[in-house]
Structure 1
Amino acid sequence: MMSGTPKEFARACWNEVYNRIIGAVVFLDDYSAECLHWDGGLFNLLTGGAVAVKSLSPFECAKKEHKKAVFITQSTSTQLQTIREIIRNSDFVHCILISCMSLDVVYLELNEGKDVTDIVSAGKAFTAATKQLERMLMEWMGKKQCSTEVLHVPIFTICPTNSVFLTPPYQKIYPSFNGNLIPESNSIDLYTLSNEERSQVRRLASGLNSMFESMNLKEDVFYMGMYSSLVAGVLENSPVCLTRRKNCTNPVSLLIIDRTLDLCGVTSHSMECVLDKVMYVLPRFPGHSNDVAVDMSPLCEANVTSHLDDIQLSPGCLYHAEDDACSQTFDYMINKSQKEVMFDLYNKLCKIDVQKSPGSKTLLKVTPLSVEKIVMASKGNYDIIGKHIGVLQQALGVVQTLKSPKRNQLELVMGLERQVHQSLATSRDSTSVLHQISQLIKTRKERNLPLENLLALITHVYSLTGTEVSFNKQHEDTLAEMLSVAIFEDHKTLLTNLDPGMATPEGCADMANKIMKKLKDISQMRKILNKYTSVLKASESGRGHEYCGVLQQLLEDYVGTNKNPLDIFHRKRLLQSGFSILTSKKSRSTKHPLDNPTVIVFVVGGVTAEECKQLHRAMITSGVDNALIIGSTKFVNPVEAMRDALAI
């Protein structure tokens, strides 16, 4: 079995940091700050002895009297330049650089374009990077009497539950090649990627390797998808990974999967999990990818008119690492029904209720209003609020989600999705789905439907149909025209990074055509598979069809009668440093993921809470003894998943 859990791994990493911060000014990058939030937050650093905590920014520096600095960083070239500016504008005599990225990867990036093959193959890159970074720190401090320390602490995971982990530093990694979802060739080599893409693959693989080393894991690597084969290749062949596997003893199966093989689940508005609903409705917590910002103004006496933009009141959030009751509620938001979550919150709130509302046992139904009533009873009572701030934030987050006008949009798009499923199930090639969606785009403002939600619906449709449906060319042309007009009309809200001067009718038409090309790519993503080409299955009731995702089908096959799914490939160790997509039958192995006591499924490109729940339930109800851990780059909602896939 495993030596520890992902949550214990993350805690051990932060303990390494806490041992070094006494008397120091701590500078964190945004990704490390997000990881810190899930381990307890800012006060862990301040109570641990840090004299100040600052953002890793070239505009920051320390007071003259502060002589020690600790930098917690991903060690990218840009971040190293930022550290140089901070050091030059401060008066440090002791600097500690904590690299969240393994130093063998940092060494490759520091020496990009140089021939360092001998050092890397000899396993000396880690030591060489340490010395190189120490020299850089000494030079920046420019003092004769100063000391430096460079070490690697793999801070890159957060654990919403004991069996789910996410990787904030890799949240932007997505299975694409030079901006395309499908590479030009079916055989792809690590060195055909751009420098940035190659660095992303190495960084993700290196992070997983560091985690496995800490947990004493020796993995069998399986993969599904072209991008995942590259990550699997690095894990299988890099000198650091080879050395680690010789020393680690606990067997584990690692299955890496491209999100792009199945975008239906993440672009669907049909949400059962409370957490998915909250992640859809509420804005992200500032600088974070996996927690939300909760409006705390109902509890406060401050006169706030434009929350969440009003800086006089900080937003709340959902996850509270130091509160076991809140951790339990967060788990419920993933694994329990909405009704169970509401009763859980009500019971916990009743213990702090100053008005003594009726207990949940006397209620037939807990409503958002009944939860809100107890929360509001604490308004202005800062002693009560301070003692129970976690559950109050969670309760407000759920109430604001269920009362939000965006819930109506969600219900409307859910209805549209059901119509699409029915239409596709009955008509297939003669489907008029795209014609219907074109009309929805045309009338979106009367229906109060944002264009981004309709784009998510279109992405859902193209991934759902795959190669099974050939859409009418005239319908596709009409859709492209409608999109072009809609993008031009809504570009200010849809394209947040676009220069307003670039939003011309011609530019929007070009963007619409690029979107259509990506949609066609999405429909072809499962073409490389043999069995899991379809995700539209006849429902058990015998009425119509329903979505059954690739991950769900795969796991059901694993634990069912089909012990050898056709589309999973075991990563054989290659002698070369270039990695091919091994899709021939010869590459299949008799090895099976369930041969090992623990299975880790890692999805590159994001998951939903609903997917995590379904996969764990499938494993539990199957009766097999294997433990399942799900990892991914981030939690996503339908709009975010669409933006990732269409690159807008």
Structure 2
Amino acid sequence: MSSSSVKEFGKAWWSEVYNRIIGAVVFLDDASAECLHWDGGLFNLLSGGAVAVKSLSPFESCQKDNKKAVFITQASSTQVKTIREIIRHSDLTHCILVSTVSLDVVYLEINDGKDVGDAVSSGRGPTEATKQLESMLIEWIGKRQCAVEVVHIPIFTISLTNVVFVTPPYSHIYPLFEGKLIPQSPSVDLYSLSNSERSQARRLASALNSMLDSMNLKEDIYYVGAYSSLLAGILENSPVCLARRKNCLHPASLIIVDRTLDVCGVTSHSTESVLDKIAAALPKFPGHSVEVAVDISPLCKATAVNHPEDIQLSPGCLYHANDDGCVQTYEYMINKSHKEVMFDLYNKLSKIDIQKSPSPKSLLKVTPQSVEKIVTASKGNYDIISKHLGVLQQALAVVQTMKSPRRAQQELLMSLEKQVLQNLAASRDSTSVLHQICHLIKTRKDRNLPLDSLLALITHVYSLVGTEVSFSKQHEDNLTETLSVAIFEDHRSLLRNETGTVVSPEECEEISKRVMGQLKDITQMRKTLTKYTSVLKPCETGVGHEYRGVLQQMVDDLVDTERPDLVDLKHKNEGIKDLLRSGLNILTSKKTRSTKHPLDNSTIIIFVVGGITAEECKRLHRSVITSGIDNTVLIGSTKLVTPVEAMRDVVSL
């Protein structure tokens, strides 16, 4: 199957799923359900012939008269056990297991601890996995007359725009080595990881391989960072990947980047992107990594007491795949200014307005109040609501973001970030910064600043300075002590404490010391780089300094027509081949072949492991467009992140 874009790649494979669901009860895991939402949602399955759709849970089963089941899962060992429980509590004759993960990886996992090296190295892994899983399904059904099928369908991407995509099943993957940010040894290999980390790396690499296969791309692999080198190694050497490269026709460049090299961009509250502002202000949609939960009680008669936990009213959402106008507005939320998004929403709402508000042309400024007025005029008018549900939910999301108390907190954090940046840039002196942050932590309740947002600010500062500025031991000890007290005071809301037990001051002191250790690790992440060691750059206007991220600097160099040396971008296909080539050159006395450049290939995929923001995507895309290059540049990541989520990835609370 060949598809020219990531959006087409997703659509094409979902159609393969829809071909198999007629008359079936469909069971999905959370990640597959999230991907389905971005392809059109639940009604795609029901209108396609599914008789019921259920969550993949050991407490679910099929009714007696349902004889066919389709499981759409990541096929992890836990999920395979769940499938066994569902089948055993049902009365099936036909069972289809759709593994969204490549079957060679599943084969390694279900045979963990067994010697299956020969089957994997000879490329028989997928075939052997199919046989093994099919025989398991037949055994669980327990009938002679039954039909089973195991098939790999790579469903793992969602396209936010035509050039930006994320991978919900891999949203939890972060560049860590045995839980640490910095690996123990400089030469990292797959077997220096824990079992679960190794499995995650293989799964992500196999997903990228499936995407390249579907898009008929034969890639040159480039990477920046230790974790990315692992993924590049798997893609370079796995038998399935080697076989695919022999058959694919179109050359491409795949650039894999570790998020940990630059955590500033994702912990910053300074964003113009409306989508980032919404994501930071509204709660996540239950079970989703990207979508937000919109309180739609202003549209209907029900009153949500505790949104989104109040189950009497389902939350709304931002993305509506079957409404072209909503898809366009969603892209605007990434790429356009706040003012343009507000005018776009007002324009679309004014066409359904039953109160006849002023036309968009006669308004100088669209305010949250003017948008909210049109939305609430539709309250209880279910005929209008049903026809325009998408745009009404998007409008409510923007209004709720602008009115949210978190918005004022974000504005304050933005101004604090700017102060810190200018202080550090002007003097390269750290004396006042940590003292200032300690004061903020102590007075956080007066300023209505949550501790997790202040921790995001501290993470931002440590990543910003890198090795350029060193903080004094006295100031760091003071910060450790201040944090320890604050963690004790706020531990119920800050720590993921499922049991509800009270944490002692001594435990909070240990947590605080561990957090400081991880922050110090963050300052060392760019030490391995040659050119992109600093992200504090003088402004082009000549006044003050600005943050210019590693990704931004790399992409600016990448698309530069002068083709400056990309010294920090390692090329996986080089190494022994280059040594051989240079040896041959001595014999033939010919001029050395020039180094490969990612722009040599018409398609370039930049993939960030560990998250990206909508603001970064917008800026990177803008750099590509203004450069004038003809190449197609796609930007991907494991997830979209907010500053607090990014902080929690770095600082394990």
TM-score bin (small chain): over 0.9
Residue segments in structure 2 that go unaligned for 5+ positions in a row = 578-592
Map residues 45-84 of structure 1 onto 2, 5 A cutoff: 45-84=45-84
**2:40 corresponds to which residue?**
40
Residue segments in structure 1 that go unaligned for 5+ positions in a row = 577-587
Alignment partners' CA distance in 2, 1:618 and 1:103: 38
**2:588 corresponds to which residue?**
none
| Residue 531 (1) aligns with residue 539 (2) | no
| Paired residue secondary structure (1:279) | helix
Q: Deviations over 1:361-392 (max 9, x none)?
A: 00000010001111111000000000000000
Query: Please, which of 623, 633, 636 is the counterpart of residue 628 of structure 1?
Result: 633
Alignment partners' CA distance in 1, 2:536 and 2:181: 22
Give the aligned residue type for 1:29: D
Shift of residue 146, structure 1, vs aligned partner:
0.9
**2:132 corresponds to which residue?**
132
Give the aligned residue type for 2:155: I
| Residue 603 (1) aligns with residue 604 (2) | no
Shift of residue 309, structure 1, vs aligned partner:
2.1
| Paired residue secondary structure (2:129) | helix
Q: 1:24·1:51 contact (CA, 8 Å) conserved in 2?
A: yes
| Paired residue secondary structure (1:639) | helix
Alignment partners' CA distance in 2, 1:382 and 1:498: 40
Alignment partners' CA distance in 1, 2:425 and 2:372: 42
Q: Deviations over 1:41-73 (max 9, x none)?
A: 000000000000000000000100000000000
**2:179 corresponds to which residue?**
179
Alignment partners' CA distance in 2, 1:499 and 1:540: 52
Q: Deviations over 1:513-532 (max 9, x none)?
A: 11000000000000000010
Q: Deviations over 1:185-239 (max 9, x none)?
A: 1111111111101101100000010111111011110000000000011001100
**1:612 corresponds to which residue?**
617
CA 1:62–1:592 in 2, change beyond 3 Å: closer, same or farther? same
Q: Deviations over 1:442-478 (max 9, x none)?
A: 1111111100000000000000000000101100000
Identity of aligned residues (%): 70
| Residue 572 (1) aligns with residue 548 (2) | no
Alignment partners' CA distance in 2, 1:94 and 1:195: 34
Map residues 243-392 of structure 1 onto 2, 5 A cutoff: 243-392=243-392
Shift of residue 559, structure 1, vs aligned partner:
2.0
**1:579 corresponds to which residue?**
none
CA 1:598–1:417 in 2, change beyond 3 Å: closer, same or farther? same
| Paired residue secondary structure (2:514) | helix
Q: 1:236·1:573 contact (CA, 8 Å) conserved in 2?
A: no
Shift of residue 498, structure 1, vs aligned partner:
5.2
Give the aligned residue type for 2:538: A
Q: 1:3·1:250 contact (CA, 8 Å) conserved in 2?
A: no
**1:398 corresponds to which residue?**
398
| Residue 19 (1) aligns with residue 19 (2) | yes
Alignment partners' CA distance in 2, 1:642 and 1:326: 31
Give the aligned residue type for 1:105: V
| Paired residue secondary structure (2:39) | coil
Q: CA RMSD in A?
A: 1.4
Q: 1:564·1:592 contact (CA, 8 Å) conserved in 2?
A: no
Give the aligned residue type for 2:439: Q
CA 1:120–1:575 in 2, change beyond 3 Å: closer, same or farther? farther
Alignment partners' CA distance in 2, 1:18 and 1:392: 29
| Paired residue secondary structure (1:471) | coil
**1:507 corresponds to which residue?**
507
TM-score (normalizing by structure 1): 0.97
**2:586 corresponds to which residue?**
none
Q: 2:423·2:429 contact (CA, 8 Å) conserved in 1?
A: no
Give the aligned residue type for 1:379: K
Shift of residue 623, structure 1, vs aligned partner:
1.1
Alignment partners' CA distance in 2, 1:472 and 1:207: 45
Give the aligned residue type for 1:133: L
Q: 2:343·2:366 contact (CA, 8 Å) conserved in 1?
A: yes
Alignment partners' CA distance in 1, 2:60 and 2:66: 13
Shift of residue 304, structure 1, vs aligned partner:
3.0
**1:474 corresponds to which residue?**
474
Alignment partners' CA distance in 2, 1:36 and 1:378: 29
Shift of residue 541, structure 1, vs aligned partner:
1.9
Alignment partners' CA distance in 2, 1:312 and 1:500: 26
Shift of residue 499, structure 1, vs aligned partner:
3.9
Q: Deviations over 1:566-598 (max 9, x none)?
A: 10000027899xxxxxxxxxxx98111111111
**1:160 corresponds to which residue?**
160
**1:581 corresponds to which residue?**
none
Alignment partners' CA distance in 2, 1:300 and 1:57: 32
Alignment partners' CA distance in 1, 2:297 and 2:498: 32
Map residues 627-646 of structure 1 onto 2, 5 A cutoff: 627-646=632-651
Q: Deviations over 1:104-126 (max 9, x none)?
A: 00000011111111111111010
TM-score (normalizing by structure 2): 0.96
Q: 2:284·2:293 contact (CA, 8 Å) conserved in 1?
A: yes
**1:580 corresponds to which residue?**
none
Give the aligned residue type for 1:59: F
Alignment partners' CA distance in 2, 1:213 and 1:278: 35
**1:408 corresponds to which residue?**
408
Give the aligned residue type for 1:408: A
Shift of residue 562, structure 1, vs aligned partner:
4.4
Q: Deviations over 1:120-146 (max 9, x none)?
A: 111101000000000000111111111
Alignment partners' CA distance in 2, 1:626 and 1:647: 39
**1:592 corresponds to which residue?**
597
Q: 2:38·2:158 contact (CA, 8 Å) conserved in 1?
A: yes
**1:85 corresponds to which residue?**
85
Shift of residue 3, structure 1, vs aligned partner:
4.4
Shift of residue 278, structure 1, vs aligned partner:
0.3
Give the aligned residue type for 1:572: N
Shift of residue 156, structure 1, vs aligned partner:
0.5
Map residues 404-553 of structure 1 onto 2, 5 A cutoff: 404-497=404-497, 499-501=499-501, 503-553=503-553
**2:100 corresponds to which residue?**
100
Alignment partners' CA distance in 2, 1:19 and 1:242: 30
Shift of residue 29, structure 1, vs aligned partner:
0.4
Equivalent pairs, count: 636
Alignment partners' CA distance in 2, 1:446 and 1:179: 36
Give the aligned residue type for 2:634: I
CA 1:430–1:455 in 2, change beyond 3 Å: closer, same or farther? closer
Alignment partners' CA distance in 1, 2:363 and 2:36: 39
